[in-house]
Amino acid sequence: MLITSGGNTLNAQEKQLLAYLRKLSQADAHALLRFAAYLAGETPDAVQTPATSAGSDSAAAEIPEPQLAERPENERVVDALKRLRASYPMLDTKKLLDKASTLVAQHVMFAKPAKDVIDEVEKLFAEAYDTFVRERRGR
């Protein structure tokens, strides 16, 4: 039997929520708690971040590093997108590809050089990764 600090037994829904919470990474558990605070009408910023909670040194260890593949000479824009998606599997590619499609259109429709477009797409992915890291660290 699970007992809360107030001496009340947890109901089935609370037990299920706790079971899910225990399966999550520290960063995902923090995101869930922030969402729960939002739904409860509280300020999500009031939720203790992994960086301020006990044992939070593992939060940084959970941030995956990109597996950067070398850029081939004369790479096509489409191949660059595939390479970058594989290099940054932790990123939400839907958001990135939406932004990248504008850059690809500049190449296809306006003959912007592939090298320049690929440089910008690489910068886009690198900036998205930096944002990902900051969010995972709770900053």
The full DSSP string for 37-64 is HHHTTS-GGGSPPGGGSTTTHHHHHTSP
User: Quick one: tokens of 68?
Assistant: 């950067």
Are 93 and 85 in contact by the 8 Å Cβ rule? The answer is: yes
pLDDT digits (tens, 9 = 90+) for 119-138: 999 999 999 999 989 988 87
Q: What is the pTM of this model?
A: 0.56
What integer is the mean pLDDT of 39-47? 70
pLDDT digits (tens, 9 = 90+) for 79-105: 999 999 999 988 888 888 888 999 999
d(CA 105, CA 97) in angstroms, rounded, equals 12
d(CA 30, CA 49) in angstroms, rounded, equals 7
Q: Name the least confident of 28-37, 51-60, 81-90, 105-114.
A: 51-60
